[in-house]
Amino acid sequence: MTRTRRTAWAVALIGILLLAACSTGDPSGTQAGGGTRDVTGSESGGGGSTSSVDGMPVPLAPGADAVSTGTSGPLTTVLYVVPLDQQAATIAFYDQWTDAEPDEYLRTEAGSGGVTWQNAPDADEDKIVIQVLSPLEGDDFVSVSLAVGPAE
């Protein structure tokens, strides 16, 4: 589980850095912090169970495990893992979720199987970045990162 936690924190940091790069806010005076948030379950329309983290507008895909949250100023990041055999289902889940959202999402595929979705929010909306990362060699899980913060 130690390797899972290290990978999870690395992905969380990547998500925060990506969101920070997309934001033009003043980063001075912000402190990184971590914590836990309430995770609640609900039934999804597809018959599988989905969960959400309080304050996060993006749902967790079915099978989410080892959920961690972190904040840095106005940025919130949620990191979790799913079993490797659920990578395609997790990508399909976020394809379906982003297609149903009013904002348009840019979908980018990595050559090694990872996928990133990023919205183009209006000035008064949150910037959202969703990443289903490619698994590392030998891993039996896939890391997922959700990052939300103020628009540029």
pLDDT computed for residue 17 by the predictor = 42
Confidence (pLDDT) at 16? 46
| Residues 23, 20: Cα–Cα separation, whole Å | 5
pTM of the model: 0.70
d(CA 125, CA 104): 13
What is the chain's pLDDT, residue by residue, as a tens digit (152 residues)? 455 445 544 554 455 444 444 433 332 222 233 443 334 443 333 333 456 788 789 999 999 999 999 998 889 999 999 999 999 999 999 999 999 999 899 999 988 889 999 999 988 889 999 999 999 889 999 999 999 998 86
Residue 42 confidence (pLDDT): 36
Residues constituting the chain: 152
Cα 52 to chain centroid, rounded? 11
